[in-house]
Amino acid sequence: MTLSLFGQSDSSRITRLLADYRIKPSIGLQFWSTYSMNMQVYDAETGTYRRVDDRVNVQLRRSRFGLSGQPYERLKFNIVTALDLLGHDVLAATQAGSLNGNAPIFRIWNAWLQWQLTRESDRLYLVTGYFLPLIGRESITPALRSTSFEKAWSQFYLRRQLTGAGSGRALGLMLAGQYHDPGGNFHLTYEAALQNPTFTAYDGNSVGERYRPLLSSRVSFQFGDAEAASYSVTRRVNYFGDRTGLTVSLTAARQGETDLFSSNEAYGWEWVGNHGQWQVDGEYLWLRRRLETEPVTQRWAARTGYLRISRNWPLPAERTLQPTVSYWWFRGPTTREAVTTAQQLELYTGSDSGLDVGFNLYLNPDTKFSLFYAHRSGSAGAGDPVVTNNTFFQQAGAGSVRRGSYLGLGSVVIW
């Protein structure tokens, strides 16, 4: 009886804590079954590419385990862990890192505190934690909320350039907020962040002896309905007919001199439009890096972006069918001189692009099934394809490849 009373007391205390602090757990799972075609690997002995067998690959592409809460009126927290690529075959045509082993590794994906500095107003927030730089529409859209089968790979090039890591996250501070026009037809979101990506110095434990922070900012002009009633660090695309509005964002990021470069920057514009059941979103970004070495200054420049169009078709039983077309691209150096410079700077070269065509079937906004065809293409320009550094010609764990295309069946479930 005593043990039972203690158990009830502990249970009620936990229940009270969860309610008082508004703590909410969340789980998201994304499973893929893909059929890859025309994948080739480079054979160093013969100096030629060899086609591998077409194959079916079933994988847990992504999983997210989160905890969010609001312990005080103006203070919120969010922490998310990730376990990705369980079962991934590096000779499948899907673009991603290597297999996450027989002993899968969890890692922190997001972790931040958000403090509302202005009482009863959305004007100003302070955010501290582990988050993405303030650039790239696709980068800040959660993968499990994307309307295409795979996220646009433009985010890969942006994240790698700015932080040196595929996750794209870094520790830092951010000031942000929103202004809402009294008439309700115009909204302005403004964000500025300071972060500390570490890159490769001291085995990835420091930015190096020469220090400059990564600075990033975004200003978003929203016409019509706001994307969110109050400020949010992340974004979404599909509002299932509940938003009629257009958002256009100007965005930039820059880091000054470190041990790795003299300057590193990206800038561009982003957009998302919602009208009825239609969604159009995209970005166009310019990437730059400079390294001053006597007697020359080395410069690298590239462009990346994506465009995606989708439409919801309401079905019986509150289901939704969503045909989607997306195209992403990367355009890096292609002349011999520019490719050589990029290789010295350990940056990306050639061209890389992907076209995804298919549809999503939503049972509800948090559960969907997808069927897509993904076509991949790339060019080395005047460079050697074997050492061309982009995701069409390179695969972690397999080396030099010519990436194939694939047919994918996927599912996403979020609780």
The pLDDT score that the predictor gives to residue 4 is 57
Q: Are 71 and 77 in contact (CB under 8 A)?
A: yes
The pLDDT score that the predictor gives to residue 5 is 47
Closest CA to 63 of 112, 113, 132, 109: 109
3-class DSSP assignment, residue 217: strand
415 residues of the chain, pLDDT tens digit each = 554 545 555 677 778 877 878 899 999 999 999 999 999 999 999 999 999 999 999 999 999 999 999 999 999 999 999 999 999 999 999 988 877 777 788 899 999 999 999 998 999 999 999 999 999 999 999 999 999 999 999 999 999 999 988 889 999 999 999 999 999 899 999 999 999 998 877 888 888 899 999 999 999 999 999 999 999 999 999 999 999 999 999 999 999 999 999 999 999 999 999 999 999 999 999 999 999 988 889 999 999 999 999 999 999 999 999 999 999 999 999 998 999 999 888 899 999 999 999 999 999 999 999 999 999 999 999 889 999 999 999 999 999 999 999 999 999 999 9
3-class DSSP assignment, residue 143: helix
Domains with residue ranges and CATH for the chain:
40-56+103-409 (2.40.160)
Element (H, E) at 83: none
Angle made by CA atoms 133, 135, 140, in degrees to the nearest 5? 75
3-class DSSP assignment, residue 126: strand
For the chain, the distance separating the N- and C-terminal CA atoms, rounded to the nearest angstrom, is 36
Tell the residue number behind the tokens 């200003």, with chain if given. 219
Sign, CA dihedral 229-235-240-244, equals positive
